[in-house]
Amino acid sequence: MALQAGTESRHRQPTQSERNSLAADRAHIAVIDAKIMELKRSLSLLNKERGLLQDRLGTYTYPVLTLPDEIVSEIFIHFLPVYPETPSLIGRSSPNLLGQIWIC
């Protein structure tokens, strides 16, 4: 397409300094893309490892979970003090002690 007299091109040629800067930017983008790909591979491996660990944990049955709800309720009823007395937050009468025992 020919330019009409008196009009200028909308695009100009970049200077050598601008070409060098553009080339450096493209190279930097390539480095960033390579890092992104490396991180995606690492993330994929970590997700696979996490899944294997979750599968292994999913096969374990905590012994307390095999007890009937009625027995667990009775344990708590006998362990906790009668209202309005409150259990201590730490020590032998703490409800946290039950959690520590049952997790083991």
Q: How does pLDDT run across 31-84, given as a tens digit for each residue?
A: 999 999 999 999 999 999 999 999 998 898 878 788 899 998 888 888 888 888
Whole-number Å distance between alpha carbons of 54 and 18: 53
Q: For the chain, what is the largest distance between any 2 Cα atoms, rounded to a whole number of angstroms?
A: 100
Examine the pLDDT at 5 and tell me if it is beyond 70: no
Question: Quick one: tokens of 31?
Answer: 């480095």
Find the DSSP H helices in 1-104.
16-59, 69-79, 95-103
pLDDT at 27 exceeding the cut of 80 = yes
* Per-residue pLDDT at 1: 46
Q: What is the DSSP string of 66-94?
A: GS-HHHHHHHHHHHSPPTT----SSSTT-
Residue 32 has what pLDDT?
Answer: 98
